[in-house]
Amino acid sequence: MSDNERHIRQQIPQLERKKIDARVRKTRDALGDALVELMQQRPFQSITVQDVLDRANVGRSTFYSHYSDKDDLLMSDADEFFEMFSMALSVHGDKSDRVFPVKEFFSHLIEAQQFVTALRTSGKLHANLELARGHFARGIERRLQELPKGVNILAVQRPALAIAHAGALLSLMQWWIDRGMKEPAEEMDSLFHKIVWG
């Protein structure tokens, strides 16, 4: 887990996160961190559940009480991660007109470049982006409902606009990654919100 992700996770009130026992949270974090570390060292296909268990110092029965396999671990971790980022502005009561924490998310991607490359190489990037799209759309829709600027948007139009903005965000992110993440995260945040608000 990166410092940026850890910082955001710590700021989200426990009531807003899925209610998970502290020991369970620690175990799940250890397993997720172990898989991420291993993916940065070798191909996903060559990683076994036992490799993850050894790295995380977790027992087999504990692993299988939470996950069915390493793919389930990867996608469960991604699910929590995308939900956390998508709802961060709403949870923190952010007063800006931003509908998504692009600056923070892109900063995280800079820190996690090696992992992003591992996801792409493993063939798991597409599934992660599809999962992200749904979370991003829900977070953006919530912000459109909360923000004074969103008051003029009809409630029936919000879901369509949210999914369109989520798609635009993913396209912008892909463009940025393909160019080598050259532009500062703050600049990408500003650019995305120009797309949103026109």
CATH number of the domain within which 76 lies: 1.10.357.10
Q: Which pLDDT does position 23 carry in this prediction?
A: 86
User: Using N-to-C axis directions, what is the helix angle for 22-39 and 113-122, rounded to 10°?
Assistant: 70
Split at pLDDT 50, 70, 90, the class of 187 is very high
* Residue of 85, 189, 192 whose CA lies nearest to 136: 85
Tens of pLDDT, residue by residue over 61-114, are 999 999 999 999 999 999 999 999 999 999 999 999 999 999 999 999 999 999
Output the CA torsion sign for 86, 91, 97, 102.
negative
User: What is the domain extent for residue 148?
Assistant: 3-197
Of the candidates 61, 7, 63, the residue with the CA atom closest to the CA atom of residue 30: 63
Considering its fold, how many domains does the chain have in total?
A: 1
